[in-house]
């Protein structure tokens, strides 16, 4: 579901969530993406015919970016079709895109994605336990591998 599954630490990252089907033949009316802890400054790409809801929460530990203190950040982005005609038909494909900055430390981040349809839903939210693989899960969350930078975090815009 996530187009690019590897990114360097401390870099700008374009997350593209691919939606290739509805829910048992029903069109997609909403996509909600939870932003993993450590990702910073998430900003969604608007889609014609869809509204955007960007949910923010206070950070447990404030950070500094470009000389400013950051006390809250985006935790969820939701795209919702404005009308039935704007919904993504089951037979069509589309992408939902956001940009954010990856954390400075390497590791795997999981992006729970919830797909609501006119009838039914698909929740891609399962995260592997120790010793489990994504392929073992029925509805795995999208996974992003953050790679070490090898001597300092990149800072791209």
pLDDT in tens, 91-132: 999 999 999 999 999 999 999 999 999 999 999 999 999 889
Whether 157 shows a pLDDT value over 60: the answer reads: no
pTM of the model: 0.89
Residue 9 confidence (pLDDT): 96
CB proximity list for 82: less than 8 A, separation 6 or greater? 49, 50, 51
Whether 147 shows a pLDDT value over 50: the answer reads: yes
Q: How far apart are CA 94 and CA 17, in angstroms?
A: 9
Nearest to 31 by CA among 109, 108, 87: 87
Class of the domain covering 6-147: mainly beta
CB proximity list for 61: less than 8 A, separation 6 or greater? none
Q: How far apart are CA 126 and CA 20, in angstroms?
A: 19
Q: Can you tell me the mean pLDDT for 33-55? A: 97
């Amino acid at each position: 579901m996530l187009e690019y599954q590897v990114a360097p630490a401390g870099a700008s990252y374009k997350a593209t969530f691919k939606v290739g089907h509805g829910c048992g033949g029903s069109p997609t009316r909403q996509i909600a993406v939870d932003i993993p802890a450590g990702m910073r400054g998430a900003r969604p790409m608007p889609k014609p015919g869809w509204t955007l809801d960007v949910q923010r929460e206070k950070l447990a530990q404030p950070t500094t970016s470009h000389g400013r203190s950051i006390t809250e950040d985006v935790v969820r982005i939701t795209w919702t079709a404005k009308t039935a005609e704007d919904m993504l038909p089951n037979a069509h494909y589309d992408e939902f895109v956001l940009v954010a900055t990856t954390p400075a430390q390497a590791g795997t981040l999981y992006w729970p994605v919830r797909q609501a349809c006119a009838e039914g839903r698909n929740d891609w939210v399962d995260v592997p336990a120790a010793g489990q693989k994504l392929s073992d899960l029925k509805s795995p969350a999208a996974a992003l591998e953050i790679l070490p930078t090898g001597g300092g975090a990149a800072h791209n815009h």
